[in-house]
Each structure stands twice: as C-alpha cells, then as structure tokens.
Chain A
Amino acid sequence: MNRLRKKAINEMILVVICCVIMLFCFGHMTAMNTQGIEYIFIMLFVGSITGVVAYIKLNKLENKLDERERSIRDAAAKYSYMVYVGYTMVFSMTSFFLVGGKGNIAVWTLPIMFAVGLLIAQIVQSMYIIGKCPEELDDE
C-alpha cells in the first residue's frame, strides 16, 4: 500500500481513538458533574492524550514525506480546514442562533459538537489523501 495512504489511515484511527476517549471523559464529567481536583485531572488526561496525538501527527507521520506527498497533504489540510469552519458555522453557530440559549441547548452537546467536528475534518483529510494517492504502479 502507498505509504501516504497508510499514514492517512493511521491518522484517522488515531483521531477516532482520541475523540472516543475525549467523549468518554467529557461524558463522565457531565454525568458526575465533576468539580475541583477531579475536573482538573480529567482535563489534564484529555489534554495529554490530545497532545500526544498532535505530536505523532506533526512529527512521526510527516517527517518522512517527500515534496509531492507534502503538497497532497497540504491540499488535504486546506479542504479539511474549510469543512471544519463550515461545520462550525452551520451546526454550531446557527443552532445557537435558531434555537437560542436560555437552557435550550444542553451543555453535554458542546463536547460532542467539538469531537464530531474534529472527526469530520480528519475524515475529509484522510479521504482526500486516499483519493489523490495513485495506486502502486508497475515499474516501466
């Protein structure tokens, strides 16, 4: 398999795992109404996992790419960013404007919106890379 494809799939798996852990932690915080030291510990845990994933994404997965692979990756990141901004506009901002505040929107929906946004952005990025990468061709 093309190594850029492999990296795209690995990245998607990493972000899915990260989002699941993030949702679990935020779900626990909301359900238990955590406060004080427990709140700080959970936030530190989520932050450290996100940090490790960001480090792996930025260093381990990108260092070995050549210039064509980087150009594909940059284009994928651009589309991913556009989709994330679009998602935030449509599903987050408009929902608040249409539904309004005053307790109509439950607090637990916010981390879900955030995590789903990250997931969608990563899926768009990985799918763009997978679509753009040519299959391995026979030597000529």
Chain B
Amino acid sequence: MSKPVITNNIRRLRFDNGQMTQQALADRAGVTRQTIIAVEAQKYTPSLQLAFSIAKVFGVGVEDVFEVVG
C-alpha cells in the first residue's frame, strides 16, 4: 500500500494574503522560516498543532491548507 502524500497550498495562500513572506508566516505560526520552507516544499510533514496554527494564520480551515493525495 502506497503512503499517502500530503500536499499544501501555503505558497498560494501566502500570495493571496498580501504576499506574506515566509518569515512573517513563520513568526505568526511560532516556528522558524526553515520549517516553513520545508513544509512548503513538502519535505517535512507538520504536526497537527502546526497545521492548525498555519491554517489559523490564513483564517481558513486546515483542509484548505493541506490535502491528502493518494
């Protein structure tokens, strides 16, 4: 059974929210910019807590930020 891939719309949401920088998102989510870069590039799957924090920053639901493919 193949492992499901979690994709995200962080990049699009950042640009939709006044071209928010990765640093600004990182500061508001309480993590480092490197973590935001890794999540955005799908190199790191965030915890539920961080996923909800990111969704809260954009003012959307967590399912609008992250999607499970496969």
Which of A's residues lie within 8 Å of B, judged by CB?
2-4, 66-69, 71, 133-134, 136-137, 139-140
Contacts and interface: CB of A to CB of B under 8 A. Distances in A.
21 contacts: A3-B32, A4-B34, A66-B31, A66-B32, A66-B35, A67-B47, A67-B49, A68-B32, A68-B34, A68-B38, A68-B44, A68-B46, A69-B35, A71-B44, A133-B34, A134-B38, A136-B34, A137-B37, A139-B22, A139-B23, A140-B22
B32 A134 contact: no
Going nearest first, the 10 A-B pairs with the smallest beta carbon separation are A66-B31, A68-B35, A68-B44, A139-B21, A139-B22, A67-B47, A137-B37, A66-B35, A66-B32, A68-B38
A133 B43 CA distance: 12
A61 to B, nearest CB: 15
Interface in B1-60: 11, 21-23, 30-35, 37-39, 44, 46-47, 49-50
